[in-house]
Copies of this chain bind each other. A is one copy, B any other.
Amino acid sequence: MPRTLILECNNKVGETVTVSGWVHVRRDHGKIGFLDVYDRTGTIQVFCTGDKLGDIRPQDVVEISGIVAQRPEKLINPNIPTGKIELQAETVKGISKAHELPFDMGGKDLDLQLPTLLDFRSLTLRHPKVKSIFKVQAALMEGFRKAATELDCVEIFVPTIAASSTEGGAEVFKVDYYGHKAFMTQSPQLYKQMLIPVYERVFTIAHAYRAEPSVTTRHLSESIQLDCEFGFVDFNELLDLLEEVAVKMLKHVEEKCEEIFKEFNLEKIHFGEIPRFTLREAQEIIFKEFGRDNRKEKDLTPQDEIDICKYALEKFDSDFVTITKFPAIAKPFYTMPDPENPEYSLSYDLLFRGVEVLSGSQRVSDYEQLVEAIKSRGLDTKSFEMYLQAFKYGMPPEGGFSFGLERLTMHILNLANVRQASLFPRDMERVDVRLSTLK
């Protein structure tokens, strides 16, 4: 009999069907038993009598034939799309036998310490709530592409192996490239800028590599960035653009992942008009409203980020805040200094619910000025030959921004650690398995 997808069973009450999937849980009640079986479309309750269940256990792949029946009124589960039906099994066939699980996967939450969650990653990803995380991530990506495409951005594919470190700094991974020393790119930054004279507006989804020798809840050694870059724009247009993309992305996710938002007990996102503060204005607010004087710091502290978001939510009904004009010295060489006060820069971060999820800037677009900026950071212009070439032959005012995909996923879902928002996180202790276990 051909396979029926589980969600389709809703339309097959009274019919005999065959479903295939994984056993999520097994519940025995004397001579009868139940399975929850999932496939890509959903989960169905399977009712069994006699010894049909045999040694079936969680994660077994099974093929079950039986009759789709309405559940009695009082057994209806309103929380799942197949909550009104069950499958009354006639035959239960094992397709692939799972080894005994190292921990229980049947609970609503998967209460495991992070190392265990990652040591058994191929298994723990199957838990419904973990699965949901990466459905949100896929929806974020879809929303991003939709927003960028609507803004006329062309998708580009840029390399990750480069001859020099992208933005200076020591925290880069070295690659042995046919006997030459090469580096994994810290971002697609330079390449997306080089494409401005080609397409004027571009977007790219890129891997970013940071060899930071630290283990925090916020950093990954390999992560995914969502980048846009726009030509013929000024600073205020850039702020409009980044906010438009962010809002469209998040609205897309909220709409597409409504069920998951419920599963995670998430509050609706507040889409009030996004307030824009310069760093100094934000620090002034922190000082006045929260009593901490950080007015000379180069950046917001983590607590400042939380508090300024709290302020924005109260006063503007917005879960976002845009912070602008960070000190020039704190930003990379390609960041445009503020013409009104070159100590500061035409840079910005977008905060979402207490955390930075995007950063970007107006760029230095003048060739001579860019050469000077590179030199003034002690970098070698020879390392930026192809990049500088793009500016040598006509570059308009331009700028852009970049979202961190894992970090954004993490904060939408209120996860404790960014590693939970990466399918196979890389950090200084782990590449799938713990590095300490490798020769």
Contacts and interface: CB of A to CB of B under 8 A. Distances in A.
A162 B126 contact: no
A201 interface: yes
A323 to B, nearest CB: 28
Q: How large is the interface on A (under 10, 10 to 19, 20 to 34, 35 or more residues)?
A: 35 or more
A10 interface: no
Nearest to A40: B200
Given A177-B173, A222-B159, A101 B152 contact: no
A240 to B, nearest CB: 14
Contact of A385 (B97, B155, B432): B432
A61 B155 contact: no
Contact of A159 (B96, B97, B426): B426
Contact of A154 (B138, B174, B199, B201): B138
A157 interface: yes
A75 interface: no
Interface in A111-148: 120-123, 125-126, 131, 134-135, 137-138, 141-142
A190 to B, nearest CB: 10
Q: Is the interface of A mostly helix, strand, loop or mixed?
A: mixed
A232 interface: yes
A385 B157 contact: no
Number of copies: 2
Of A123, A142, A191, A422, most buried by chain B (CB within 10 Å of CB) is: A123
Max chain B Cβ within 10 angstroms of own Cβ: one of A3, A207, A397: A207
Nearest to A163: B431
A184 B423 CA distance: 17
21 contacts: A20-B396, A40-B199, A96-B395, A98-B393, A99-B393, A122-B393, A125-B194, A126-B197, A126-B393, A134-B156, A135-B154, A138-B156, A141-B155, A156-B423, A157-B422, A157-B423, A161-B222, A161-B431, A175-B184, A178-B211, A386-B424
Closest 8 CB pairs of A and B: A40-B200, A122-B390, A122-B389, A59-B394, A98-B394, A386-B432, A163-B431, A59-B393
Interface of A: 3, 20, 22-23, 39-41, 59-61, 95-99, 101, 120-123, 125-126, 131, 134-135, 137-138, 141-142, 152, 154-163, 173-178, 180, 182, 184, 191, 194-195, 197-201, 205, 207, 209, 211, 213, 221-222, 224, 231-232, 365-366, 385-387, 389-390, 392-397, 405, 422-424, 426, 428, 431-433, 435, 438
Given A156-B423, A159-B424, 5 more contacts: A40-B231, A157-B224, A159-B426, A161-B184, A182-B431
